[in-house]
Chain A
């Protein structure tokens, strides 16, 4: 696991040798073990290495055995041993034991189709010296990041945006369309990022830069083809899944350094830890987050799981103050606004993991998306069921089964709960039926935008843009699969695997690996009949079935509780000085994105303890994180803008 970067130029002008070094230095937290460079008159490649496989031989950038190719690679190819054997049989020779060299040989053998053979999590770029061609790829589901931008005759790429900003010509501008999308969908629509003119290579995509031309294409996508036969023979389907998950775990334990797990006490992480324990055999370490605030704490479940599985468990206890103090660093790493503080405890956790000498952890991410675990799937099912018989008094009562972990939702009067989740006739044919209550609620946060920002966004339509991006196949899938696609294709790479995943772990040089996101497991899950994902209202039915004989009953049966952390409360009870500074009327006004008087009213509401709703909490965190992003990455630009125009605010100059 590492940080990668590069600059391609096609005008024959000599590269600035300092730029690639500055870019690589900006990524040192991703790879503190060593740095390496390759430079010729057309390209500079940089690499910050976190040594995990072939500690002695895996230096990067790496040249192919034939000398014609260079690669800079971030990630892991878990099936590299099998691929290496096949390639050796075909006559390839290897100088190292690394997975990096396997990618080079496979590219030599298969060309750009090489990615189809990889089982792993990657972002890499290969430079073909003779053809002056750059080929880059990102893994199927977007575990590893890849950002790029074009400036004049240069193409720049990097694992994180901050490395691109080392180039003085790259402008530091907030993309208001991205903000509009985040304040609706919680994520940007790829390839958009929070920075104007800086893009991300979407998950499952490759790109090529040749003769100054950039071409991007998709090599893999989520496809759903539920097969009734999987439900007809449940025993066999469960056996197949267990065998596949065991193999996915086995491959992910390939490492020349110790591997631990993240254990939250939920079904997915406990099953991951159980499989890891089974495959690894040796004494295993697990790590988890606990909270002083009992509403979010899962410590009893963690202790029970650790004791049952006989693993040595370490938890870090997060207070409100811990979250508030870490938050600026969290935003420096996420490089996008957040509506939740949940990444912050994971930032603190990876620090502890690294201090304890671990570079690699296996985690349970992805199971909720591919096996149907989230309450949003259940919610859509209930709403659809209710809409079949709108006058039923009993059907809407099922709504009370939703979000059992959210005290305020449980306290809601039935009439109001029904009103919130009500189904209009036109909603049923809406492709976003499952997600509309969440997105419509989130969109309310835009009331905090200034008139200038709202004017700038008046012709934007987030839903229309999202609808245009949907694959043709989407319209033929059943509603459950459609809802899954929206989660797995957008929220998973755009938030779970990035802001809450790669960026928080790599901030402290820790690599997370995800057995549930092995593409064979994803493709297997996509063929499952809907009843194996959610049987009536029992979520992750098949996964629970294989967990039943392996995990404590209390963990298999406990209601789904997604990982969450205290939001606005974190900044009210203990307020570091940056909060007052960034949320002050002066700073809010100076950045020009939000209305100072509205922010002030929100702060009063939060401080008086009246902000108990999801919307207010998201608003507070969304505004504070946007302010932090602007201060961290764009503030000097804001000052320039303000100076130039005297009265014009920052956002208005965008």
Chain B
């Protein structure tokens, strides 16, 4: 997990902060940090799908899965495990966006 977090952090810093790591925490919300524009999440999805050979369902594209380094790492590692195990994981349902 730490390695995955480091990997994702370096992608976030390169792609959204253009190389300038200002010391944000891995638990900080990307939205609250102002890191992504409205299409930034599409870039993030393409990246993790390609890099980790996983496929995201639209119901999984919610802040609960993607909005911080920690959440993203947790979600990606679950997806990786899941893809090697077989069936799809259930989307998180504890955020307002999940029900839409």
Binds B, one of A56-64, A237-245, A440-448, A506-514: A440-448
Q: Are A408 and B18 in contact (CB under 8 A)?
A: no
Q: Contacting A441 at CB < 8 Å: which of B31, B38, B42? A: B38
B39 part of interface (Cβ distance < 8 Å): yes
Minimum CB distance partner of A600 in chain B:
B19
Q: Are A415 and B100 in contact (CB under 8 A)?
A: yes
Q: Which residues of B contact A605 (CB under 8 A)?
A: 14-15, 18
- A624 to B14 CA separation, bound complex (whole angstroms): 20
- A440 to B96 CA separation, bound complex (whole angstroms): 24
Q: Are B100 and A412 in contact (CB under 8 A)?
A: no
- A411 to B95 CA separation, bound complex (whole angstroms): 20
Q: Are A614 and B43 in contact (CB under 8 A)?
A: no
- A411 to B45 CA separation, bound complex (whole angstroms): 12
Q: Are B18 and A448 in contact (CB under 8 A)?
A: yes
B89 part of interface (Cβ distance < 8 Å): no
Minimum CB distance partner of A396 in chain B:
B100
A420 part of interface (Cβ distance < 8 Å): yes
Q: Contacting A412 at CB < 8 Å: which of B20, B39, B46, B95? A: B39
Residue interface mask A404-436, B partner, CB < 8 A = 1: 000011011111111110000000000000000
Q: Which residues of A contact B98 (CB under 8 A)?
A: 415
Of B31, B43, B46, the most chain A CB neighbours within 10 A belong to B43
A393 part of interface (Cβ distance < 8 Å): yes
* B45 CB to nearest chain A CB (Å): 8
Q: Contacting B42 at CB < 8 Å: which of A412, A448, A597? A: A412
Q: Which residues of B contact A42 (CB under 8 A)?
A: none
Residue interface mask A90-114, B partner, CB < 8 A = 1: 0000000000000000000000000
Interface size on B, residues (CB 8 A): 27
Q: Which residues of A contact B37 (CB under 8 A)?
A: 420, 441, 444, 613-616
Q: Are B58 and A614 in contact (CB under 8 A)?
A: no
Q: Are B38 and A418 in contact (CB under 8 A)?
A: no
Q: Contacting A419 at CB < 8 Å: which of B20, B46, B63, B99? A: B63
Of A409, A413, A447, A614, the most chain B CB neighbours within 10 A belong to A413
Of B19, B31, B39, B47, the most chain A CB neighbours within 10 A belong to B39
Q: Are A601 and B19 in contact (CB under 8 A)?
A: yes
Q: Are A613 and B100 in contact (CB under 8 A)?
A: no
Q: Which residues of A contact B27 (CB under 8 A)?
A: none
- A610 to B47 CA separation, bound complex (whole angstroms): 9
Within 592-611 of A, Cβ neighbours of B (below 8 Å) are at: 595, 597-602, 605, 610
With contact pairs A393-B99, A393-B100 given, residues A417 and B18 touching in the complex (Cβ less than 8 Å): no
Q: Are A447 and B18 in contact (CB under 8 A)?
A: yes
Minimum CB distance partner of B40 in chain A:
A613
Chain A, interface SS category: helix
Q: Are A413 and B58 in contact (CB under 8 A)?
A: yes
Q: Are B43 and A612 in contact (CB under 8 A)?
A: yes
Within 19-62 of B, Cβ neighbours of A (below 8 Å) are at: 19-20, 31, 34, 37-43, 46-47, 58, 61-62
- A415 to B92 CA separation, bound complex (whole angstroms): 13
With contact pairs A413-B62, A415-B62 given, residues A447 and B41 touching in the complex (Cβ less than 8 Å): no
Q: Are A420 and B38 in contact (CB under 8 A)?
A: yes
* A389 CB to nearest chain B CB (Å): 14
* B83 CB to nearest chain A CB (Å): 20
Q: Are A602 and B18 in contact (CB under 8 A)?
A: yes
Q: Are B14 and A601 in contact (CB under 8 A)?
A: yes
Q: Are A414 and B100 in contact (CB under 8 A)?
A: yes
- A616 to B36 CA separation, bound complex (whole angstroms): 10
With contact pairs A418-B97, A419-B31 given, residues A614 and B38 touching in the complex (Cβ less than 8 Å): yes
B93 part of interface (Cβ distance < 8 Å): no
Q: Which residues of B contact A415 (CB under 8 A)?
A: 61-63, 95-98, 100
Q: Are A613 and B38 in contact (CB under 8 A)?
A: yes
B17 part of interface (Cβ distance < 8 Å): yes
Q: Are B100 and A411 in contact (CB under 8 A)?
A: no
- A417 to B34 CA separation, bound complex (whole angstroms): 14
* A617 CB to nearest chain B CB (Å): 10
Task: List the 8 shortest-distance A-B pairs measured between CB atoms, nearest first.
Answer: A415-B97, A598-B18, A615-B37, A413-B61, A601-B18, A613-B39, A420-B38, A408-B39
